[in-house]
Chain A
Amino acid sequence: MTLIKTRHNRRSFLKVSTAAGGGMILGFSWLASCTPKKEELLTMPDEWFDINAYIKIGENGVVTIMSPNPEIGQNVKTSMPMIVAEELDINWKHVVVEQADLNLIKYSRQLAGGSQSIRQGWQGLRMAGATARRMLMEAAAKQWQVPLGELTTADGIITHKASNQSIGYGEVASSAAGIEVPEEVELKDQKDFKIIGQPTKNVDGTKIATGQPLFGLDYKEDGMLTAMIIHAPAFGMKLKSYDASAVKSMPGIKDVITVQTEVEERQWSDTNAFTEIVAVVGNSTWEVMKAKKALNVEWEWDTPGENTDEHAQEFVKILESSAKEPARLDGNPKDAFKNAAQVVERFFSAPLLAHNTLEPMNFFAHVTSDKALLVGPIQTPEYLSKSAASVLGLDEKQITIQMTRMGGGFGRRLYGHFGIEAAVISQKIGAPIKLVYTREDDMTQGTYRPSYLVKYRAALDEDNNLIGIHIKGTGSHGSPIFANRFPAGTVDNYLAENLNFQTNISAGAWRAPRSNFMAGAEQAFLDEVAETAGKDPIDFRLELFDRAINNPVGERNDYDPERYAGVLKLVREKSGWGKDIPGVYRGVSAYFCHNSYVAQVLDMEMVSGKPVVKKVWCAVDCGIVVNPEGARNQIEGGIIDGIGHAMYSSLTIKNGAPEQHNFDRYRLIRHREAPVEIETFFVNNGIDPTGLGEPSLPPISGALANALYKATGKRLYRQPFTQQDIVLG
């Protein structure tokens, strides 16, 4: 039995009130939850007490869970309410999930990024559900004049066995609203879970399948105008002049304006290479699009235009030098490499990538002299609010932000410049507007996944034991290396070095930042090292994990080698690794990021001379799986996304200008290139749930490269792999 406190220093995480029309409403903080670290206990952050989610139990027994979380495709709008419903002990069929009215509750202090929503919400959501259940039971106990301890619940019904009475939640909801919130509540035993762990369908499934307005781009208000922007065509350029006279008289066009969005105190989310842009405002999208094309804008150089090719050469040069301070140093790598019987040395690189959320950036804004309403797809409303207030010259209290469903995030909507742009345009024009980026505006705006170059070296002794590892990395937004991740801790002599590089091309977090490249590079490299050592790639990795389990090197290793080895063993067993199947070429890979462990085996076949991904076997340790249906979908998506980007995608820059503007030249994976089958296996260990939106993506490029090597005899070091004339399917 787990007891959990609902208060801290007399402040409560929960608040009860009567529902309009009868019933009870329990308000709670979606964040109350973050299991506090010791130092945080002394000063609990205020936002942990902000009520931003509600459970409403109507007299009719219908339970409505209102969550503040925007849906970016990680299925949190389904899985998080499942956690509440579990502790509340109701039938999922009687639950309605709504996005909380953000006008009422301001916005939630919740960041939908980094796969962490479930992890952070776990305790708080359970607490909220358990508290509501307990209060309903107290109300029933009072009504029946029986001891609370004699009551049981199931499926939203409270029963007192001794007196043979039972009552639905709805019938006691109004009286429960008058009961004080208990200071402590009991959580369910995991073995009693009825909803958590059950494959559950997306609560918005029907709305999506019938095309109902859910997304930012679908938002409308009366009198709303459409705005589009023109930003500099190249990084390093700034606005010189434009002549809007002809365009202003085009049909439907209201105005052409200059928009400044420089934020005085830039927060990290204010990443933006183009803070002075031109906006065209008019009645309808097509009219504005045409005017935008017709408008002649002159730009001038501010800083020099850069080139992808030059970056690549620079990276090589940079890696010839040494870092001033190593990111990590164990033992004596210098001697290890000097005395090695064999040394393997390889470079791995990856290009810039655009996020390319299928719904381009957009935002609605209605700004008047004393208030601003901003509506759209944003993962960081609290940051947007702050920056928008400062640019608009308003107080933060005057700003209301509403979040819509997002047509993909992948990290892109952490950077809210488009929200600020919409707000400034509305303020200048004096009307409600919806800002819409074209695909071209979106793809050429920057905030890219950085490009990288990493050099790996491994030293083997005469007995083919790994005695040294040296990693050196750089990238267009810093080095991608995680110095304390595997293989650190498994080898006596280890050196990791980070080297810097400066560029004017803006970069941002992209699904599983840095891991999205490092995993594939590392796992392809280790495959080659295992081959050089004459060892089976899985056995070789397991040997390293054994070392980290029994006799780890160094103080700080950011992974649990047993869980790591666990997923690898699981995928080995499930895929039947080791048996040779004629015509099937296999690659293996494993990685840990966002607190989850993933191992994959990829099966490839050659069909009419072309490699085809037949099957991916995927073992995942992400703690308790709240919703296996949604989780599988996430994992499959990450794998397909990872294969696609490693194979095909690349954004290149020539004289400061992106060379790909739309999906004709920027290749994304398509139906035909997707694996035929993906099978996912979860480790069942009862650990609190961890991230799922990201972890399946990083390792797959390693498994892909390793399988391609088996199938074609070529080791691939440069992404996208199509550069080496390889195409799937």
Chain B
Amino acid sequence: MATYNLNINGTNRQVDVESDTPMLWVLRDHLDLVGTKYGCGIAQCGACTIHLNGNAVRSCSVPVSAVGDQAVITIEGLSETVEKAEHAVQQAWLEHDVPQCGYCQAGQIMNAAALLTRNSNPSDEEIDDAMNGNICRCGTYIRIKAAIKTAASKMS
């Protein structure tokens, strides 16, 4: 066990965990932030996507010891106000009524938000490339793409 001071959604959080504990489980089990989802545990589905210093990463494959003082943003911290879908990507998700079961969507939204920070006007191909690692078992891919385009147009 070791103590880690983490910067999560703009606040300092302390956890006592094994150094190899993936961020996914630190968030879900120790910090009560369960919006980040478990889907595969091996970086194949994207359900666990969070931002580390603004980049989308698979939290199931990032041990807590590798995080240091990098800024962690989870789905719960994407909007300024908790429980409000204020971010342009979240807004677009509502506008396009994207979710079906909803389980993959936090990961999709986090990945899309990171994409748009990098590239404010992605082409279809760039969207496919960036999002290809996020599985949606319910098949909402077309709506996700449409929502990303809407968000891009609102953000620029």
Nearest Cβ on chain B to A405's Cβ, whole angstroms: 7
Given A668-B137, A671-B127, also A634-B39 (CB < 8 A): no
In the assembled complex, A204 has its CB within 8 A of some CB on chain B: yes
Is residue B140 within 8 Å, beta carbon to beta carbon, of the partner chain? yes
Q: Are A205 and B101 in contact (CB under 8 A)?
A: no
Q: Which of A205, A213, A634, A671 contacts B93 (CB 8 A)?
A: A205
A112 to chain B, nearest CB (A): 12
A460 located at the interface, meaning its Cβ lies under 8 Å from any Cβ of chain B in the complex: no
Q: How far is the CB of B151 from chain A (nearest CB, A)?
A: 12
> Is B28 part of the binding interface, using a Cβ–Cβ cutoff of 8 Å?
yes
**One of A340-348, A355-363, A712-720 contacting the partner:** A355-363
Look across to chain A and name the residue whose beta carbon is closest to the beta carbon of B135. A668
| Beta-carbon contact of B94 and A671 below 8 Å | no
B-contact bits for A178-219, CB 8 A (1 contact / 0 none): 000000000000000000000001101111111111110110
Q: Are B100 and A73 in contact (CB under 8 A)?
A: yes
Contact B94 A209 (CB under 8 A): yes
Provide the residues of chain B in CB contact with A439, threshold 8 Å: 39-42
* Residues from chain A with Cβ under 8 Å of B127 in the complex: 671
The stretch from A52-60, A124-132, A151-159, A637-645 touching chain B is A637-645
CB interface residues, B 133-156, toward A, < 8 Å = 133-145
B56 sits at the interface (CB 8 A) = no
Q: Does A629 contact B (CB under 8 A)?
A: yes
Chain B residues with Cβ under 8 A from A410's Cβ?
137
B8 interfacial by beta-carbon distance below 8 Å: no
- Tell me which residues across on chain A come within 8 A of B93, comparing CB atoms: 205, 209
Give the contacting residue for A438; candidates B25, B41, B84, B135; CB below 8 A.
Answer: B41
Whether a CB of chain B sits under 8 angstroms from the CB of A285 is: yes
Assess the B142–A205 pair: CB atoms within 8 A. Answer: no
Q: Is the CB–CB distance between A251 and B138 below 8 Å?
A: no
Q: Mark B96-123, 1 if CB is under 8 A from A, else 0.
A: 0101111111100100000000000000
Docked complex Cα distance between A285 and B109 (Å) = 25
- Residues of A with C-beta under 8 A to B35: 210-213
| A-chain residues with CB within 8 Å of residue B34 when the two chains form the complex | 211, 213, 217-218, 220
Residues of A within 8 A of B69 (CB): none
The residues in A between 377 and 411 inclusive whose CB is less than 8 angstroms from any CB of B are: 405-410
Report the Cα distance A640→B148, complex, angstroms.
19
Given A211-B35, A663-B44, A671-B127 in contact, is the A633-B140 Cβ separation under 8 Å? Answer: yes
In this assembly, does A492 line the interface, its C-beta being within 8 Å of a C-beta of chain B? no
CA distance A671 to B97 in the complex (A): 17
Bound: A136/B152 CA distance, A: 48
In the assembled complex, which residues on chain B have CB atoms less than 8 Å from the CB atom of A220?
Answer: 32, 34
How long is the Cα–Cα vector from A713 to B64 in the complex, in angstroms?
53
Asked whether, in the complex, the Cβ of A209 is within 8 Å of the Cβ of B90, the reply is yes
Q: For the complex, what is the distance from the CA of A218 to the CA of B131, rounded to whole Å? A: 25
Enumerate chain B residues within 8 angstroms of A207, measured Cβ to Cβ.
83
Chain B residues whose C-beta falls within 8 Å of the C-beta of A407 in the assembled complex? 37, 101-103
- B135 with A663: CB separation less than 8 A: yes
Q: Are A285 and B28 closer than 8 Å at their CB atoms?
A: yes
8 Å CB contact of A664 from B25, B33, B44, B128 = B44
Q: Which of A217, A286, A405, A640 contacts B37 (CB 8 A)?
A: A217
Select one of B20, B36, B41, B131 contacting A671, CB under 8 A: B131
Interface of B is mostly: loop
CA distance A297 to B31 in the complex (A): 33
- Residues on B with beta carbons closer than 8 Å to the beta carbon of A421: none
Q: How far is the CA of A671 from the CA of B145 in the complex (A)?
A: 9
Looking at the assembled complex, report how far the CB atom of B135 sits from the nearest CB atom of chain A, in whole angstroms. 5
Assess whether A675 is interfacial by the CB under 8 Å rule: yes
Cα-based distance from A217 to B37 in the complex (angstroms):
9
| CB proximity to A under 8 Å, residues B44-78 | 44-45, 47, 74-76, 78
A286 touches B17 (CB 8 A): yes
Nearest Cβ distance between residue A571 and chain B, in whole angstroms? 18
Distance in angstroms from A355 CB to nearest chain B CB is: 9
* Closest-CB distance, B85 to chain A (whole angstroms): 4
Supposing A208-B99, A209-B109, A630-B97 touch, asked if A356 and B137 sit within 8 A by C-beta, the answer is: yes
Q: Is the CB of B141 within 8 A of A640?
A: yes
Residue B30 lies at the interface, judged by CB distance under 8 Å to chain A: yes
**One of A218, A251, A357 near B1 (C-beta < 8 A):** A251
Query: Which of A640, A644, A662, A670 is within 8 Å of B42, CB to CB?
Result: A662
Hey, which chain A residues are within 8 Å of B76, CB to CB? 210-211
Residue from B25, B132, B141 whose CB has the most chain A CB atoms within 10 Å: B141
CB contacts (< 8 Å) of A671 on chain B: these are 127-128, 131-132, 134, 141, 144-145
A445 CB → nearest B CB, Å: 15
| Pairwise interchain contact A672-B101, C-beta atoms closer than 8 A | no
> In the complex, what residues of B have CB within 8 A of residue A206's CB?
83-85, 94
Q: Is residue A674 within 8 Å, beta carbon to beta carbon, of the partner chain?
A: yes
Specify the chain A residue showing the minimal Cβ separation from B125: A672
Q: Max chain B CB contacts within 10 Å: which of A220, A358, A677, A678?
A: A358
B79 within 8 A of A: yes
Enumerate chain B residues within 8 angstroms of A359, measured Cβ to Cβ.
37, 39, 101, 103
List chain A residues, Cβ under 8 A from B140: 633, 636-637
- Chain A residues in 8 Å Cβ range of B145: 671
Chain A nearest CB from B25 CB (Å) reads 4
B20, B84, B102, B144: residue with the most chain A Cβ atoms closer than 10 Å:
B102
CA distance A259 to B38 in the complex (A): 25
Query: What are 21 A-B pairs at a CB distance below 8 A?
Result: A72-B101, A205-B85, A205-B93, A205-B99, A207-B83, A210-B75, A210-B84, A210-B90, A284-B25, A358-B101, A358-B103, A407-B103, A439-B40, A638-B139, A640-B139, A663-B39, A668-B137, A670-B133, A670-B135, A671-B145, A676-B142
Which A positions have Cβ atoms within 8 angstroms of B?
71-75, 201-202, 204-215, 217-218, 220, 226, 251, 284-287, 290, 356-360, 405-410, 436, 438-439, 629-630, 633-634, 636-641, 644, 662-664, 668-672, 674-678
Known contacts A662-B41, A674-B139, then 12 further A-B pairs from the complex at CB < 8 Å, ordered by chain A residue: A201-B97, A206-B94, A215-B37, A220-B34, A360-B39, A634-B100, A636-B139, A637-B100, A637-B138, A637-B140, A664-B44, A671-B128
State the B residues within 8 Å of A (CB): 1, 17-18, 20-22, 25, 28-30, 32-42, 44-45, 47, 74-76, 78-79, 82-85, 90, 93-94, 97, 99-106, 109, 124, 127-129, 131-145
